[in-house]
Amino acid sequence: MPLSPAVRVDIDRFWSTLDRSAGIGTGRENGLSRLALSDADRQMRDLFVTWCREAGLEVTVDRVGNIFARRAGLDDGLPPVLVGSHLDTQQNGGRFDGIAGVLGALEMIRCLNAAGHATRRPIEIVNWANEEGARFSPPMTAAGCFAGEYTVHWVHARTDDDGATFGDELARIGYLGNAEPGGRPLDAYFELHIEQGPILDADKVQVGIVTHAYSSHGFLVEFHGETAHTGPWPMELRKNALIAAARLLVAVDDIGWDFADTGGKGTGARLVAWPNKAGTLSDWAQAVCDVRHDDPQTSDLMAERVIRAAANAAAQAGCTAQVVDRWDWGGAIFDAGMVDGIRQQAARLGYSHRDLPSQAGHDAYFLARICPTAMIFTPCHGGITHNNHENATPADLEPGLNVLLHSVVAHADRSPEPA
Ligand SMILES: [Zn+2]
């Protein structure tokens, strides 16, 4: 039996669940500072696992800290439909980013339980570890490992600013699981996320259907120079790594401006230096930056300019530059059939909707490399995000949550493809 369109999420139940999450790892007013693998992340994970078990789900954790919560299917040997996002936040994060997608998947399960609807295929909720990359670089670390891009060993060796490793922190918070990440058949992956941009809110459209992703290139660049006295040391002999990194970040901002008229972005996100003290030139600096554009070729061009800018910045400051980490994603990665299915469900449920690209990074990009994948966006006020003023109302989220519910169920219930 197909799920009746009269079955809808319980928005009050969802909202009180989201409110509980918003009390864990609080940051600035109304915001969250729930960095990956912190004590607050552990507390949130524990609560999420409790909720999943109460909903009758079977919970497993893999070796990079991803949590899976499975609801059996009528034909339980079929590959599962995966639905989720992330529960970690930025340092000055909001209460919706990622969280709405994980807790929305939980609401979907609660709804199916209440309706007594068993799906043909199993459904698994997933919480991906360290999506934000705010504590451990790069972002979407554990989804990347699940998709086979990174090894478990490499992920475990990532360090935070205090030298703590990903692997040790996972063990410390009790989420170093046994399951091998990935390497198993998946039917599909769905992710609901707040838009993190202003389009849906400005156009008063209820549901965003993500057709493709901005092509993005991120870089972690290290510069090496020499410490020296800031007074007597001659300008022509200086090797100030701090200045090399600063020059790169300004250059990346300039690249963003050069392509701004066609929607391009260039971001200088982080600069750290050592010793970073008055009186001494720094002999080491790290810069994190990225460029992105809707057109992949333009984005590639911007990335080439970043590489050249790093070499120029190093040369001008008498230093050497090395790209230590690089991450690339985007393009036409979403499954056309799933995208169309989401459109049909939005229309069937009577919601206004529009197609749009995703400009932020998402775990879904890695999943798209290993299984059919699609994303649903919900409006958020003014597109404000990665900011404690990130905001949305129940009315902003309810349509997207219902579209997620019905899209996932329709996909999980479809007839098996003939062999
Ligand atoms: Zn997110």
pLDDT tens-place string over residues 116-142? 999 999 999 999 999 999 999 999 999
* Res 2: pLDDT: 85
CA of 410 to the centre of ligand 1 (A): 25
CA of 341 to the centre of ligand 1 (A): 23
* Res 94: pLDDT: 96
The whole-number average pLDDT for the span 35-39 is 98
CA of 361 to the centre of ligand 1 (A): 7
pTM of the model: 0.94
Contact, 9 vs 407, CB < 8 A? no
**Quick one: DSSP state of residue 229?**
B
CA of 304 to the centre of ligand 1 (A): 27
* Res 419: pLDDT: 61
Tell me the pLDDT band of 331, cut-offs 50, 70 and 90.
confident
Helix (H, G, I), strand (E, B) or coil at 128: coil
pLDDT tens-digit profile of 66-98? 999 999 999 999 999 999 999 999 999 999 999
Question: What percentage of the chain reaches a pLDDT higher than 90?
Answer: 98
d(CA 210, CA 222): 35
CA of 362 to the centre of ligand 1 (A): 6
DSSP per-residue string spanning 49-115: HHHHHHTTPEEEEBTT--EEEEE--TTTTSPPEEEEE-----TTB-SSTTHHHHHHHHHHHHHHHHH
Q: What angle in degrees, to the nearest 10, is found between the helix axes of 394-413 and 11-21?
A: 110
CA of 194 to the centre of ligand 1 (A): 8
Which residues are within 5 Å of ligand 1 (an ion), measured at CB?
97-98
Residue 323 Cα distances to 135, 139, 142, 221, 308, angstroms: 19, 16, 21, 4, 11
CA of 131 to the centre of ligand 1 (A): 7
CA of 82 to the centre of ligand 1 (A): 17
Contact, 228 vs 237, CB < 8 A? yes
Boundaries of CATH 3.30.70.360 in the chain? 215-328
Q: How far apart are the first and last CA of the chain?
A: 23
CA of 310 to the centre of ligand 1 (A): 28
Boundaries of CATH 3.40.630.10 in the chain? 11-197+359-413
pLDDT at 417 exceeding the cut of 90: no
pLDDT at 7 exceeding the cut of 80: yes
CATH topology of domain 11-197+359-413: Aminopeptidase (3.40.630)
* Res 214: pLDDT: 95
d(CA 165, CA 177): 16
Residues in a beta bridge with 75:
none
CATH topology of domain 215-328: Alpha-Beta Plaits (3.30.70)
Question: What percentage of the chain reaches a pLDDT higher than 70?
Answer: 100
CA of 46 to the centre of ligand 1 (A): 20
CA of 244 to the centre of ligand 1 (A): 31
d(CA 400, CA 83): 14
